[in-house]
Amino acid sequence: MTRSIIVTGASAGIGKATALRFLLAGWQVGLVARRREALEEIAAAHPGAVPLACDVADPAAVESVFAAAAARFGRIDALFNNAGISRPAGLIDEIPVQDWLDTVQVNLNGMFFCARAAFAQMRRQAPQGGRIINNGSISAHAPRPGSAAYTATKHAVTGLTKTISLDGRPFDIACGQIDIGNAGTEMAAKMAKGVPQADGSIRAEAMMDVAEVAEAVLHMATLPLSTNVQFMTIMATKMPFVGRG
């Protein structure tokens, strides 16, 4: 039977690369993002893709598109909970309150809304079960300068992942997290040009091909439900993460 996955943030970057990799592997893919035209462009070239335009920060819209995906596919086997935003860096007293609220609403609340909808469907479908893969970040372990809002949400995602993993056991719902560092996307392109370091300097950082991230997510998703990658860190080998900044 053809397996199905919902990918959030599927219109660009890591989400788009991952959606395309799953389509290549023969999965049915629900494409969730706000930009309907971008999703329809992907779906036009890939019969297994279904555009599901939605703002993950809107809980009613999330419930609606997950129900539509379940009706279309018959079940939801996996969710790549990937959608996220970042706002300009700044010291905590310089970050606009609205930037904090927007970041929390998408990166944490949106991830909760999507995981909640997926968990409910996986719990009631037959056979029961499925897999939720949350996109954390290197920032779920160590912050970059001036990233209070983004880093706080990514630390919170780790707690969400652990709790879903625990609560999903009776229902064969596996939950893991992939923490990604310096994938070559439009959002991360500035890393290769120079970004602030912990010692106050500005330096360019090593990057990795986003296709490697997509391959890693596919690996996590194709494991049997009796096996789970609880946490995976995938990063550009030479990025300044391990060691002293």
- Ordered DSSP codes for 124-177: HSSS--EEEEEE--GGGTSPPTT-HHHHHHHHHHHHHHHHHHHHTGGGTEEEEE
Tell me the three state secondary structure of residue 7.
strand
Helix (H) or strand (E) holding 118: helix 111-124
Closest CA to 218 of 17, 70, 61: 17
Catalytic residue among 8, 150, 156, 174: 150
Active site residue 150: yes
Q: Which residue has the tokens 């992939």?
A: 178
According to DSSP, residue 105 is labeled: I
d(CA 43, CA 20): 10
**Neighbouring C-beta atoms of residue 187, cutoff 10 Å:** 13
Q: Which residue numbers are catalytic?
A: 150
